[in-house]
Structure 1
Amino acid sequence: MSVDDAIIDRIASRLLSAPPALAEARNLVPDWTPPQPFDRPPVAAAVLIAIVARPEGHTVLYTERSPDLRSHSGQVAFPGGKIDPEDVDAADAALREAHEEVGMERADATVLGYMPTYYTGTNYLITPVVATVTPSRPFVPNPGEVHSVFEVPLARILSAASYGHFRFERGGQRGQTWQIDHDGHRIWGITANLTRLFRDLAYDEAAA
């Protein structure tokens, strides 16, 4: 068994076997506090943390969102989006979005499990779905949603030295997220925070 395989097995053993129940809004604490409280329930969403098998080793898949999108344009993200009524569960939604965004075939993915939900200051309640992927064809970005697709070596994701901090100001409030720079891409915000939580899961650590 390779080092990557051993780490993936350890991650899988620490994931939830089913999508976590969605907590009531009054019990949720967002990653940053918006200036005004929300007057609507959180939007259920799912993202796919895809561990991609490559000849040189495993990688983690990211997308760069289209600059034409109204929300989070140009930012780095995991494949994913809102859970539609037609989706069976969070995994179904995440795999559907991955197919729509980058052409990932469902049959190429094996869902390992789920991370705890993550509540954003934009009122999205995200379920991270972790899967291994053996791609049968190249990932191709859907130009209506995705500007580019790139992968970061799993070893880099798992190294604590890869992480810095990104500071921002929004709605008059200052905040901070994790940040990872890789090959000209800056990963920050929700995606970096989820990446760090994924990394800490491998080592049974709590993100600082």
Structure 2
Amino acid sequence: MNQRDTPLLVDDAIVDRIAARLLQQAPGLDTHGELIPDWAPTLPFERPPVLAAVLIGLVMRPEGHTILYTERSRELRAHSGQVAFPGGKIDPSDIDAADAALREAGEEVGLRRHEARVLGYLPTYYTGTNYLITPVVAEIIPTHPFVPNPSEVYSLFEVPLARVLDLGSYGQYRIKRNGEEHRTWQIDHDGHVIWGITANLTRRFRDIALGEGGQ
């Protein structure tokens, strides 16, 4: 697919087609089986994975759907300044992963629950930092501007869905950990560099949305 083909994919029915390719129930969170992280830490983990959820929000705009991203506060201890989807740990009080993702989005960018319609889920993603993430995909029809919570979010931005679906948008990001080179997907958009877990989840979403990836 090239950029000239992309607008043909992004029409009024694209969200319904994406929803049909998603998992309609949240994937199981069995942490007793073998989990393979996106990169292998030097020492094995001594505790169960931390359960987390992120929201891949398809925002309805007059010019077409976009995907919402945040830039994490530079004051945070972990992953400060990095681009991320709204999300975080699943709390015991959360009903499920979708409940957690929507709660976190409310806390981080002021999303109101009635603005979001959950479409489905991606397979879980296990990180080299011992987080087991459930990606929740939802269509968002905003009734007011998103407002970043300064204690968690430095800024927020949206990437056109057409750009996310375009194979040509993806490059490779290289990083060294413990002397070994690791690669992730990378998307450059309007001065923002999306890489690591967020870029990998974006690419997985893209592949499943277009029927090019398995579940």
Alignment TM-score, normalising by the size of structure 1? 0.96
Distance in 1, matches of 2:17 and 2:81, equals 33
**Deviation digits for residues 156-184 of structure 1 (CA, Å, limit 9, x no counterpart):** 00000000000001122210000000000
**Counterpart in the other structure of 2:203:** 196
User: Is 1:162 aligned to residue 169 of structure 2?
Assistant: yes
Q: Note the residue ranges of structure 2 that are not aligned, 5 or more in a row.
A: 1-8
User: Is 1:125 aligned to residue 132 of structure 2?
Assistant: yes
**Deviation digits for residues 97-142 of structure 1 (CA, Å, limit 9, x no counterpart):** 0000000101100000111100000000000000000001100000
Alignment TM-score, normalising by the size of structure 2? 0.93
User: Is 1:72 aligned to residue 79 of structure 2?
Assistant: yes
How many residue pairs get aligned? The number is 206
**Counterpart in the other structure of 1:184:** 191
**Deviation digits for residues 49-94 of structure 1 (CA, Å, limit 9, x no counterpart):** 0000001111000000000000000000000000000000000000
Answer whether contact 1:17 1:113 (CA < 8 A) is retained: yes
Alignment of structure 1 residues 1-208 onto 2, 5 Å? 3-206=10-213
Distance in 2, matches of 1:3 and 1:170, equals 38
Where 2:60 maps in the other structure, the secondary structure is strand
Distance in 2, matches of 1:52 and 1:6, equals 14
User: Identity of counterpart residues, as a percentage?
Assistant: 70
**Counterpart in the other structure of 2:4:** none
Q: Please provide the CA RMSD for this pair.
A: 1.3
Distance in 2, matches of 1:117 and 1:4, equals 28
Distance in 1, matches of 2:83 and 2:10, equals 27
